[in-house]
Amino acid sequence: MLETPSAVPSSARPQRPRVGLFVTCLVDLMRPSVGFAAVKLLEDAGCVVEVPRQTCCGQPAFNSGDRDTARALAEQAIEAFAPYDYVVAPSGSCAGQIKAHYPELFAGDPNIARKADALAAKTYELVSFLVDVMGVTEVDARFDGTVTYHDSCSGLRELGVKRQPRQLLATVEGLTLTEMKENEVCCGFGGTFAVKYGEISNSIVEKKTENIVASGAHTLLAGDLGCLMNMAGKLSREGQPVEVRHVAEVLAGMTDEPPIGAPAPGK
Amino acid sequence: MTVHVTSPKFKDNAHRALQDEQLQKAMGNVRQGFIDRRAAVAAKLPEFEALRDSARDIKNHTLQHLDLYLEQYERRVTAAGGHVHWARTADEARRAILDICKRVGARTVTKGKSMISEEIGLNAALEAANIRPVETDLGEYIIQLRGEIPSHIIAPAVHLNATQVESDFRRVHTHLDPQRDLSQPVQLLTEARGVLRDRFLAADVGITGANFLIAETGTSVIVTNEGNGDLTQTMPKVHIVIASIEKVVPTLEDVSQILRVLARSATGQEMSVYTTFSTGPRRPEDVDGPEEYHVVILDNGRSSMLGTTFQDMLRCIRCGACMNHCPVYHAVGGHAYGWVYPGPMGAVLSPSLIGVDKAGHLPNASTFCGRCESVCPVRIPLPKLMRHWREREFERHLQPATFRSGLGFWAYFAKRPRLYRLATSVAMRGLAWLGRDKGRFKTLPLAGGWTDFRDFPAPQGATFQDQWKSRRAGGAK
Amino acid sequence: MSARDEIFANLRRSLGVKGSEAPRRHVVQERLESAPKGLVPQRGQLIGEGLIELFKTQAEAAMASVVEVDGPMAVPEAVAEYLRASNLPARIKMGDDLRLAAMPWGETALEISKGRSDGQDLVAVNHAFAGVAETGTLTMTSGPENPSTLNLLPDYAIVVLSAKDVVGDYETMWARLRDEYGKGQMPRTVNWITGPSRSADIEQTLLLGAHGPRSLHIVLVNG
């Protein structure tokens, strides 16, 4: 399902929309700074951000064939995020799960299906939400250096996230974007795949880091923490001097935290 | 099943493939060639995406009326003087073909490239009956010399390099000058052309697959670039087509729609060199062509896929675009999949044909990157179908116990948000403390699949939800 | 139960039908009768010179060579000239096509033999049924006029194509074929040929002349 949504006319959305932040389990646990960057970007765009109690969208269960657990977690999220005008996740993968797969999970259950459809309709990946829904055309941020951007699979192919991050990155002061070869090719993460088929996953991420390094960029950006941890883990194992960050950190100008997988300064 | 199935050993196969430098180099050719050419040719045809919809719709319509179109197809073949043979299983298909070959006293059989022939293990059956099968597609010919199965559905020898082919030719073509120069691919092609030309002329029976069967006219269609399929079906006295039930399409117009996406998706050509429509045996006035025309139509489990969630897979037109664009296929090549059909289409189809107990790894060995679906000319939702296989495996407890219990452990917490916050809050602080010096872990218990190959970044510390709560409580933003 | 009966029983069980339902039968009959065209690309929707130009461009993109001549009478000389330029012997094989037979072959020094090919012919001349401009594809129909083996076995295939037989798309070509052979009827073989034979099976290197002709030369006859 590839869609390239155009900006929602401003008349079609609330003045100060209430956004429920689906922070995603990886950002919640591993890299909260991405969540705060998302909050800043959303608030700067005029949203009121709230964070209901949450765990996981259920994708690991869904993709492992455990439909019951996937449904239980989906129902949890459907309840928790019902009150908001929009639901935004700093991840194409989790937003894709809600948008593309929740309706499918409840296709046989009209009662919940209606709610799942409603949630799907108002759920967005962070950067495409900023550009396509809130009409954001520039950010107030500075980042000195050359970056390259990896198009994570779910965001790219399920949600059509491609031009939006590039459009906003172009407005970051001091930043130069240099594209790597095969930027639309999977990094080999694939959730549990990275552990279940570690050796194959490794071969895929090796090709990816080769392209990243060849781009000459100093920093790698992407919109999904799972992919970023995979690529950061490989780059550091290879001893490559490439820093890795979530695109939201750079767009929000919040890059004080050390890059992914790097020690705190002074350590 | 006559073709040895190694799919249960997928991980071992993959391990070997990843260590095989020659194979890794050959797979690099796939990553570059096919993808760029498909993209370029698709971009040249503004209607390409709409034609994919059209191809999908034609296949869906046909599948919904498959019984009726097959009846019509059979009537038209018979009216044109051909014979239709129905085979429920691989064994019945082999027997139908052997019966014809024996009746006409065949000693040599030339073959056009056919995946159904691979599926039913036809060559082994012919050899057992003292009939010599000769593959004539260059790639198929090469792998036949090596005793291998195809590693790709349209480029069977894509896993090999020219040096390997040269040594096979020297080993087998002993009637030729041992001093001859075979250092260039064109010399290998010329040699194969010469050797196979004699076979074409000497063959008693020609066996081809079919890309399509046309109900309107009782026609079988083959698509090739070499012309080997045409020679296979034109030169011998008997032409046998082997095709599965889902190959039928209604009309000449319908097949034209699908042909517009087939070659573009497969090789990135606007049209393959030879697209040949065959209807019955030679006519009384003809000066060439086969005297007998047979079609063996194989079910082999496909009729049971109809009406199920796997019906979508029956749209497949075997272009190979899914594997051309698959990072897992690029990494391990086609043989690792352990049976006839590799890549994403194989990961969906093989469990249907040989059982999910044997082929269970295949639908799991995917990152769900979705690139296969994004290029499939008939828009088969391959990741979704792989996921459905995972659901069947989960229901039948076919996945490893450790994986299952790990998933259950995680699910227990994820379904209890309060407990989850508490547990993760403690766990992340602990993990962050352990990883504070390096910012990453070189090893982690139970995560060897990850840390054997890459570092695991350490968490920052307090979870987002903890920090958010305390910030809100403290009145800070 | 025979294999055939069981397969159809399975199909119908899976589809949840009996096979005798009138509406389903009607839908199928209707589709076979009307043979709807589907989506025909704009690319071939040209007339006159534009159509011919597109055919030439596409055929050449598929690595065929094309030469235009002013009328049927000029074909033999064009063939002879092609053979001379390609350094080939002045010997060709052809079938019984009346259009070819009406051409002044005797005015050239070409040695002509008739009939199908046994694999020993270097050069053959066939007449095309049609040319499809959208992909530069020739449509060849089998028969004693233009034996299939002449398309396949010689190293050099020469195909004569009348400009009036160049159509924009496959659908128009099928309509012409039905006019000639009848609805639902086909010659034994219809061969679409787009360029000379090729293979990329060795290391993805594209090589011409795998089993079929190494070279495809089209003589396009105007007027």
Same domain? For A233 and A148 the reply is yes
Cβ–Cβ below 8 Å for A186 and B14: no
| Interface list for C 42-81 with B (CB within 8 A) | 42-43, 58, 61-62
Chain A residues with CB under 8 Å of B31 CB are 182
Cβ–Cβ below 8 Å for B11 and A197: yes
From C80's Cα to the closest Cα of chain B, the distance in A is 26
What is the Cα–Cα distance from B170 to B192, expressed in whole angstroms? 11
The confidence band for B302, taking pLDDT boundaries of 50, 70 and 90, is: very high
The percent of residues above 90 in pLDDT, for chain B, comes to: 92
The CATH code of the domain that includes A219 is 3.40.50.11810
Chains sharing 3 or more CB pairs under 8 A with chain B: A, C
- Residue C5's CB is within 10 A of a number of other CB atoms, namely 10
Task: Check pLDDT > 70 for residue C179.
Answer: yes
Task: Indicate the helix (H) or strand (E) that contains A144.
Answer: strand A142-149
> Nearest-CA neighbor of B79 among B283, B296, B297, B289?
B283
| DSSP summary character for residue A259 | P
Strands (E), C77-196: 91-94, 111-114, 123-127, 130-132, 137-141, 156-162, 166-167, 189-193
Q: Domain range spanning residue A175?
A: 138-251
Report the mean per-residue pLDDT for chain B.
95
> Nearest-CA neighbor of B469 among A88, A52, A19?
A52
pLDDT for residue A133: 97
Question: Who wins on pLDDT, A12 or B216?
Answer: B216
Same domain? For C178 and C145 the reply is yes
The CATH code of the domain that includes C76 is 3.40.50.10420
Cα–Cα distances in angstroms (integers) from residue A213 to residues A206, A219, A235, in the given order: 11, 10, 9
Averaged over B133-151, what is the pLDDT? 96
Of B11, B367, B464, the CB nearest to A32: B464
Question: What total number of domains does chain A contain?
Answer: 2
pLDDT for residue C204: 87
Same domain? For C2 and C82 the reply is no
Q: Domain range spanning residue B439?
A: 413-473
3-state secondary structure of A21: strand
3-state secondary structure of A27: helix
Q: State which amino acid sits at residue B81.
A: G
C53-62 pLDDT, tens per residue?
999 999 999 9
Residue B220 near chain C (CB below 8 Å): no
From A182's Cα to the closest Cα of chain B, the distance in A is 10
pLDDT for residue A267: 58
Helices (H) and strands (E) in chain A, counts: 15, 8
Residue B27 near chain C (CB below 8 Å): no
Cβ–Cβ below 8 Å for B369 and A157: yes
What is the Cα–Cα distance from C35 to C44, expressed in whole angstroms? 20
Task: Check pLDDT > 80 for residue B125.
Answer: yes
Report the mean per-residue pLDDT for chain C.
96
Averaged over C131-135, what is the pLDDT? 98
Residue B64 near chain C (CB below 8 Å): yes
Report the mean per-residue pLDDT for chain A.
95
> Nearest-CA neighbor of C152 among C190, C117, C115?
C117
Task: Check pLDDT > 50 for residue A3.
Answer: no
β pairing state of C65-69 and C215-221: parallel
Cβ–Cβ below 8 Å for C202 and B157: yes
Same domain? For C72 and C23 the reply is no
pLDDT for residue A261: 95
The confidence band for B2, taking pLDDT boundaries of 50, 70 and 90, is: low
pLDDT for residue B475: 58
pLDDT for residue B399: 85
User: Comparing A77-86, B29-38, C144-153, which segment has the lowest mean pLDDT?
Assistant: B29-38
Same domain? For C21 and C120 the reply is no
In a domain, B398, yes or no: no
pLDDT for residue A192: 92
The confidence band for B445, taking pLDDT boundaries of 50, 70 and 90, is: confident
The confidence band for A8, taking pLDDT boundaries of 50, 70 and 90, is: low
Averaged over B145-161, what is the pLDDT? 95
Sign for the CA dihedral angle at B313, B317, B319, B321 comes to negative
Distance of CA B126 to the CA centre of its chain: 24
For the CA atoms of chain B, what is the radius of gyration? 26
Of B328, B394, B450, the CB nearest to A64: B394
- Residue B412's CB is within 10 A of a number of other CB atoms, namely 13
Q: Domain range spanning residue C18?
A: 1-34
Task: Check pLDDT > 60 for residue B1.
Answer: no
Same domain? For A90 and A149 the reply is no
Same domain? For C56 and C152 the reply is yes
Chain C residues with CB under 8 Å of B227 CB are 152, 197, 210-213
pLDDT for residue A241: 95
What is the Cα–Cα distance from B370 to A63, expressed in whole angstroms? 13
The percent of residues above 70 in pLDDT, for chain B, comes to: 99
Task: Check pLDDT > 60 for residue B476.
Answer: no
Cβ–Cβ below 8 Å for B368 and A54: no
pLDDT for residue C52: 98
Q: Whole-model pTM?
A: 0.96
Which of B369, B375, B424 is most worth mutating to test chain A (most A CB atoms within 10 A of its CB)?
Answer: B369
A104-145 pLDDT, tens per residue?
999 989 999 999 999 999 999 999 999 999 999 999 999 999
Same domain? For A213 and A147 the reply is yes
Give buried/exposed letters for C21-49 (b at 16+ CB in 10 A, else e): eeebeeebeebbeebebbebbebbebeee
Tokens, residue A240: 């490559």
In a domain, A172, yes or no: yes
Same domain? For C22 and C96 the reply is no
In a domain, A164, yes or no: yes
3-state secondary structure of B252: helix
pLDDT for residue A4: 45
